Amino acid sequence: MDIEYDTYVAASVNPKYPPPTELVLALKSLVTTSTPAEDVARQSVSGFIEGTQSHPYPGAFHGLLFALIRKYTEQNDRFVDFIVALETLPDPTGEINQLAGFNEYMTEFAFDYVDRPFSDPEPNVSRQGWVNVNAFTAKLHNRGLPTSGRQLVRGGQILRRALERAQWEVYHHPDIDEDLEDFEDDEEEEYCQRRDRFMEEMDIRTLNANAPAAAQWIKYCGKEIYNMEGSLGREVTIITTKWTGKPPGWSKERWAFWKERFEWIAGVTALDRKTRRIAKETAEEMSRIEQE
């Protein structure tokens, strides 16, 4: 696994902005050994503690961390323990515990996943990485820490993406037509490639990524979600939404609709059998939660 780790890290980082050596070695011990997460956390910021590094979380920190979360499925719990350890380490400066940039990176990069069922050379690898990120974040939410533990709004966004949108049912997209209007008649091949790139993101088979990702939030936070009320965060009205309930936000009615959509996904022939099985099991889990 050591060679695999080294090769993966080398391919994942920007050579112009390499992560500190102590961070690379710390995260290596996290995924390849049983070193306690607290020791790994301390090693990862040792440069800052010893004064050789001005900031505990250099720019490469978050990118490397989430690259490894996507890669190492079996170590998902260890990554959660690592973040919890960073937020709870004895820290006279307060800078380590603040996890500067963590939530911002998640918003801008970790949760910007777009599934490409046809052009991605390894779609199953990409999808597993997306599931890993959601499982990690849902588990982190359950730890309830002040900085890293407030993540349920992200879960609501992922559930909405998977269960409320149905862009594959729309056949005319004026925004795409507008984006493509500058292609000349002799650029038909380029036009088609660009068009297909857009349409690929709307294919029903994107549920092979988004439904299992959404299922992680029910698996790890389902009971809390079932009992939630009030704002779900910013809700933008889109023409392809299947949810028309009022008022917006968390509700038992929305929960029931989400369960119906998981049941629907379980019967979609176009989707992978694994996706359909996960959807079925998630709907069953939601029914169990309702009975508790």
pLDDT digit string (tens) for 91-127? 888 888 999 999 999 999 999 999 999 999 999 999 9
Digit-coded pLDDT (tens) for 22-54? 999 999 999 999 999 999 999 999 988 888 887
25 occurs within a structural domain? yes
> Same domain, yes or no, for 92 and 157?
no
Of 71, 54, 52, 64, nearest in space to 24 by CA: 64
Digit-coded pLDDT (tens) for 187-226? 999 999 999 999 999 999 999 999 999 999 999 999 999 9
| Domain of 250, in residue numbers | 148-291
> End-to-end alpha-carbon separation of the chain, Å?
42
Return the pLDDT at 217: 99
3-state secondary structure at position 289: helix
Asked whether the beta carbons of 42 and 49 are under 8 A apart, the reply is yes
pLDDT score of 65 more than 80: yes
Return the pLDDT at 171: 87
pLDDT score of 17 more than 70: yes
> Same domain, yes or no, for 80 and 26?
yes
Digit-coded pLDDT (tens) for 282-292? 999 999 999 99
Is the backbone of residue 238 left (phi > 0), alpha (psi -120 to 50) or beta?
A: beta
3-state secondary structure at position 189: helix
Number of domains within the chain: 2
pLDDT score of 237 more than 90: no
Q: Give the global pTM.
A: 0.94
CA distance 204 to 184: 30
User: CA angle at residue 22 from 20 to 26, to 5 degrees?
Assistant: 125
**Where residue 240 falls among pLDDT bands split at 50, 70, 90?**
confident
Going through 11-63 in order, the beta strands assigned E by DSSP cover none
139 occurs within a structural domain? no
Q: Averaged over 168-173, what is the pLDDT?
A: 90
Q: Averaged over 266-270, what is the pLDDT?
A: 98
> Same domain, yes or no, for 100 and 181?
no
Q: Is 189 buried (19+), middle (13-18) or exposed (0-12) by CB count in 10 A?
A: exposed
Asked whether the beta carbons of 251 and 245 are under 8 A apart, the reply is yes
247 occurs within a structural domain? yes
CA distance 99 to 144: 15
Q: What percent of the chain has pLDDT over 90?
A: 78
Return the pLDDT at 114: 96
128 occurs within a structural domain? no
pLDDT score of 168 more than 80: yes
Q: Which two tokens stand for residue 245?
A: 């309930």
CA distance 201 to 139: 28
> Same domain, yes or no, for 287 and 159?
yes
- Looking at every residue in the chain, the average pLDDT score rounds to 93
Other beta carbons within 10 Å of 116? 16
1 occurs within a structural domain? yes
> Same domain, yes or no, for 280 and 173?
yes
Return the pLDDT at 1: 67
